[in-house]
């Protein structure tokens, strides 16, 4: 995975020195191999989310989460995250009842919101699902973008929320700690727990009912119901794969390599086999050299964004990498039937560069 090897591969794609440097930086491997011995049991936040799920069985998911998630009390509008009221409840843990009397956050179908505690190869994770696409976008804006009216791409049908400060967990911790430490000072203890983010930061997934990658049913030869069901399965597997790489390797990026790996397991879960033509369709590369601008590849140009010429080279690399993933699938069919086999393959796929994967590097 050295730069010299990657440079030579990029030269084969006709990249200029400027494009080579740009793509080397874009495709820099962010996965931390030193993290691969992490405990694969449940993270600490699962305990409280199980309580939420139990409570939701009586009061409903939306009504339950509104008790603990202050973002579900503020309207979506520009600049709201900078207001003192918003900062008081989301950054300083003040009670929503004491700060904000207005109830300006509303879902179109609140009763349709579902909560699932879903098993992954590295522990369970909460999943929120809504069949209403407008509600999905609102939930993403509230939990990821601090209730700001950020544009959500049509091709985006899921997201994984990480680093969510859950003040309810801190309050529960405080209640338990003060009972056990009658003479202790909570402010001193609070300062001690701030560095331990596992005690108060959550991760969860939000899923929509959109067609996967914005692809219409006729494009995959299915009827609407079949494709919507497959899309949900894919979307869940895709986001769970991101959770696995985040947990094991400390990284989950909006890059092509991450997306190829996540789509691999998404397609496998929904279709029972890897189908490279679907992966290319999702990226907008099904008719290459013609590129479909509504394809997801456009979402992964990086920050700063790749130049048009480097993006053209990335298209070629993506196609070759996807086709090589088909060979990886055929050579690893048996091991993919087990949890450990999937984890083993993920570790191998994250240990190489996108250029090497495109060049046909053997993964076994």
Same domain, 12 and 64: no
Same domain, 156 and 270: no
Same domain, 54 and 26: no
Same domain, 163 and 286: no
Domain extent at residue 318: 1-30+236-364
Q: Mean pLDDT of all residues in the chain?
A: 92
Q: Give pLDDT, residue 286.
A: 97
Query: What are the start-end ranges of the H helices in the chain?
Result: 3-12, 17-26, 46-59, 61-68, 84-90, 96-99, 133-143, 167-180, 186-193, 224-249, 256-271, 276-283, 308-331, 339-349, 354-358
d(CA 165, CA 204): 12
How many CA atoms lie less than 13 Å away from 115 in the CB half-sphere? 23
Q: Write the pLDDT tens digit of every residue in 175-207.
A: 999 999 988 899 999 999 999 999 999 999 999
pTM: 0.92
Tell me which of 10-24, 30-44, 118-132 is least confident: 30-44
Cβ-contact 281, 163 below 8 angstroms: no
Q: How confident is the model at residue 287 (pLDDT cuts 50, 70, 90)?
A: very high
pLDDT exceeds 80 at position 12? yes
Same domain, 244 and 335: yes
Same domain, 204 and 298: no
Last residue of a domain, one of 194, 210, 226: 210
pLDDT exceeds 60 at position 311? yes
Question: How does strand 201-207 pair with strand 158-165?
Answer: antiparallel
d(CA 292, CA 59): 45
Same domain, 339 and 288: yes
User: In the predicted model, what is the mean pLDDT of residues 7-15?
Assistant: 96
Same domain, 250 and 279: yes
Is residue 223 situated within a structural domain? no
Region of residue 320 (phi > 0: left; psi between -120 and 50: alpha; otherwise: beta): alpha
pLDDT exceeds 70 at position 223? yes
Q: Give pLDDT, residue 39.
A: 65
pLDDT exceeds 80 at position 94? yes
Same domain, 199 and 242: no
Q: Write the pLDDT tens digit of every residue in 33-60.
A: 555 556 678 999 999 999 999 999 999 9
CB neighbour list of residue 309: distance below 8 Å, 6 or more residues apart: 16, 19
Cβ-contact 275, 330 below 8 angstroms: no
Cβ-contact 109, 189 below 8 angstroms: no
d(CA 5, CA 358): 12
Question: Residue 198 corresponds to which tokens in the numbers above?
Answer: 């596992």
d(CA 68, CA 51): 12
Q: In what order do the strands lie in the sheet with 201-207?
A: 114-120, 123-129, 201-207, 158-165
Is residue 35 situated within a structural domain? no
Q: Domains in the chain: how many in total?
A: 2
Residue 117 φ then ψ, to 5°: -100, 105
Q: Give pLDDT, residue 35.
A: 52
d(CA 220, CA 99): 50
Is residue 346 situated within a structural domain? yes
pLDDT exceeds 60 at position 168? yes
Same domain, 143 and 177: yes
């Amino acid at each position: 995975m050295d730069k010299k090897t990657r440079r030579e591969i990029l030269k084969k794609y006709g990249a200029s020195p400027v494009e080579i440097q740009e793509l080397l930086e874009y495709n820099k491997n962010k996965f931390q191999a030193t993290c691969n011995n992490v405990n694969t049991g449940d993270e600490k936040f699962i305990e409280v989310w199980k309580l939420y799920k139990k409570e939701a069985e009586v009061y409903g998911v939306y009504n339950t989460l509104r008790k603990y998630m202050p973002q579900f009390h503020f309207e979506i509008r520009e600049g709201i995250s900078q207001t003192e009221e918003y900062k008081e409840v989301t950054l300083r843990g003040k009670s929503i009842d004491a700060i904000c009397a207005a109830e300006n956050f509303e879902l179109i179908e609140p009763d349709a919101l579902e909560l699932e505690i879903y098993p992954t190869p590295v522990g369970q994770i909460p999943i929120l699902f809504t069949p209403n696409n407008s509600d999905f976008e609102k939930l993403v804006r509230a939990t990821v973008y601090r209730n700001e009216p950020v544009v959500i791409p049509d091709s985006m049908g899921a997201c994984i929320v990480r680093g969510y400060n859950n003040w309810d967990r801190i309050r529960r911790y405080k209640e338990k700690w003060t009972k056990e430490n009658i003479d202790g000072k909570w402010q001193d203890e609070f300062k001690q727990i701030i560095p331990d983010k596992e005690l108060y930061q959550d991760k969860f997934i939000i899923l929509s009912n959109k067609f996967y990658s914005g692809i219409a049913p006729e494009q995959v030869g299915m009827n609407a119901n079949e494709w919507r069901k497959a899309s949900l399965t894919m979307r869940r597997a895709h986001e769970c794969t991101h959770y696995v790489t985040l947990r094991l390797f400390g990284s989950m990026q909006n890059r092509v390599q991450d997306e190829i790996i996540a789509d691999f397991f998404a397609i496998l879960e929904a279709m029972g086999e890897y189908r490279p033509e679907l992966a290319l369709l999702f990226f907008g590369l099904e008719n290459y050299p013609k590129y479909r601008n509504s394809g997801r590849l456009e979402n992964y140009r990086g920050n700063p964004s790749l130049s048009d010429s480097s993006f053209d080279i990335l298209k070629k690399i993506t196609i070759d990498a996807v086709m090589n993933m088909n060979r990886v699938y055929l050579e690893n069919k048996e091991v993919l039937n087990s949890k450990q086999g999937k984890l083993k393959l993920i570790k191998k796929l994250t240990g190489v560069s996108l250029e090497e994967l495109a060049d046909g590097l053997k993964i076994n």
